[in-house]
Structure 1
């Protein structure tokens, strides 16, 4: 997961530094986003059918594609907003991951709640694309941060329980990659919502 985040950050920074590449990425933003969604779908739905090597390569490809699309954030937000959002996300993620690892209460029952909460958040985001409400944008961002903070604790506990179950070999390797993807997505989504809160009016072109 850490390697995936490092790859995403590196690709985003290098793309931002290369003006020609950055414009190409912007012109291909929709196909790149669709490719990201396709990779997540394949990794999520066919994880048990893929070898650990193939799953690992797909995860690396997804992290690199995310870096390409995330390069646009460095043009849309000021560097201080991006840095502040990243540090806040890192601290929140670390705290919630530790909480999920050490907490004794079983969080598995929360899985369905988180699923419907994510779907509800997605619907709210689609609605806000049409109504463009600043109040709704703020509410969605706050709920998004809280939701993915909770998902970080949930996913961490699920991975801890999986590790304690004694699985090994190819199954363990696939589980590790799927776990890395889950935590990676938690971090990325939390970062995006926090950045939206930090970066109001923080365009780097101002």
Structure 2
């Protein structure tokens, strides 16, 4: 296959990845916004221990719901849709805590940062492998610190987690984009590349969501 054909296939693949990611984000945003408008649903979730189930369900789904080696591309797409809906339920609280204007402002800031960083990851000729490994270590640190802060409830620690998280998820966005690009191989066929596209979309989706939440924690205006 000549280079022109490979490049065309790669562009189609990356477009598919971003389309899946945008679909997942739209579902998450829609579920979170519409769910927050229902006082009955809000009371049923956040006024009962069910909130812990809703908050932990996306994490459990990540570990047990996605099996790329065992699932078809269509099954993975369905799993992505279900996961993004669960994430939407868990993110309903942001519409109860922050003003709509600040949520919209942070969303657009996140979108601009994500687009620029992902474009860098796609176009750079420099390997981001070492940076990616460092960011993964940072991610582990953020997770541990976040779990500790559940019990400490320290605003200073939360600020540090959010500030470091912005750097980590920005770096992971560039690294994941480069990995998605490098993992594409036209010879693998449509089914294999479709599975790769869904999993790539999931990685970028999670980076976007986490970057958004970190920035919202730093810049969001609380609804008094």
Q: TM-score, normalised by structure 2?
A: 0.84
Report what 2:210 is aligned to: 189
Secondary structure at the counterpart of residue 116 of structure 1: helix
After superposing on structure 2, the runs of 4+ consecutive aligned residues of structure 1 that deviate more than 4 Å are none
Q: 1:24 aligns with which of 35, 41, 44?
A: 44
How many angstroms apart in 2 are the aligned matches of 1:70 and 1:132? 19
Q: 2:78 aligns with which of 57, 80, 103?
A: 57
Report what 1:6 is aligned to: 26
How many angstroms apart in 2 are the aligned matches of 1:109 and 1:166? 28
Q: Is the 8 A contact 1:43 1:178 kept in 2?
A: no
How many angstroms apart in 2 are the aligned matches of 1:146 and 1:165? 33
Report what 2:144 is aligned to: 123
Q: Report how far residue 109 of structure 1 moved.
A: 3.2
How many angstroms apart in 2 are the aligned matches of 1:19 and 1:128? 29
Report what 1:203 is aligned to: 222
Q: 1:172 aligns with which of 165, 184, 193?
A: 193
How many angstroms apart in 1 are the aligned matches of 2:82 and 2:111? 22
Alignment pair present for 1:36 and 2:80: no
Which runs of 5 or more residues in structure 2 are unaligned?
A: 1-20
Task: Assess, with a 3 A threshold, how the Cα gap between structure 1 residues 132 and 24 changes in structure 2: closer, same or farther.
Answer: closer
Q: Report how far residue 79 of structure 1 moved.
A: 1.3
How many angstroms apart in 1 are the aligned matches of 2:173 and 2:31? 24
Bigger mean CA offset, 34-43 vs 117-126: 34-43
Q: Report how far residue 69 of structure 1 moved.
A: 1.5
Query: What number of residue pairs does the alignment pair up?
Result: 202
Q: Report how far residue 114 of structure 1 moved.
A: 2.3
Alignment pair present for 1:132 and 2:153: yes
How many angstroms apart in 2 are the aligned matches of 1:108 and 1:164? 19
How many angstroms apart in 2 are the aligned matches of 1:127 and 1:31? 19
How many angstroms apart in 1 are the aligned matches of 2:156 and 2:38? 36
